[in-house]
Amino acid sequence: MTNLEIKHIAGASVPIQGNDIDTDRIIPARFLKEITFEHMGNYLFHDERMAPDGSQTDHPLNLPKFKGASIMIVGNNFGCGSSREHAAQAVLRYGIKAIIGESYSEIFSGNCKNIGIPTLIVTPIIQKALTKMALAFPDAPLHIDLETLTLTTSGNTYPISLPKEWQHAFLNGTWNATYTLKANIALIKQKDQELPY
């Protein structure tokens, strides 16, 4: 399963400032009627990105300087509220490969892990430093190493954290439970034959 291994992530960052950003802000409820997740990226932070008259606001995701960013920097308790998996899907479909923040809702973080997005934890001091850097130097690349759990940018290296079992899943490509299940169908059938019931 080497094609699913996630060891290194690199890219520019976009800061989404504020604490307790809930899933209704990440993906408004009216977009949950989508049968597939194909267009979810278009609706990421929709109501904060669009004014009532249909024009764009100055939300970071609308600013040209953050266009193409693949790492999101967030605050405390990101993804709280409803457990809708559409929130994580919207982040992924927009093009975000990793999230860095102080803390997350457990369900949101789990939903992200299940689709290959590490939700990395840093201290408040590091979070503020990364936010400040992203605002001042939006093109500065961040390099995330999931093997050493470090983040390097602009000549500085910071510690990041991730649950040990999640780190293992990303490094070994077992974060995708469906893929893992399908890849082991022969073993499942064998076990089925061995069971006495």
Dist. CA 186–CA 197, nearest whole Å: 19
How far does Cα 94 stand from its chain's mean position? 10
| C-beta of residue 60 within 8 angstroms of C-beta of residue 131 | no
Euclidean distance between CA atoms 120 and 49, whole angstroms:
25
Check if the beta carbon of residue 192 is closer than 8 Å to that of residue 28. no
pLDDT of residue 180: 64
CA–CA dist 127, 74 (Å, integer):
8
Q: What is the pLDDT of residue 33?
A: 87
Rounded to an integer, what distance in angstroms lies between the CA atom of residue 83 and that of residue 106?
9
What per-residue confidence (pLDDT) applies to 1? 42
Looking at residue 115, its pLDDT comes to 95
Exposed/middle/buried for residue 178 (C-beta within 10 Å: 0-12, 13-18, 19+): exposed
Cα dihedral value 46, 28, 139, 2, nearest 10: -130
* Residues of the chain below pLDDT 50: 1-2
Q: Give me the residue spans of the domains in the chain.
A: 2-194
Question: The pTM is what?
Answer: 0.89
What's the topology of domain 2-194? Aconitase; domain 4 (3.20.19)
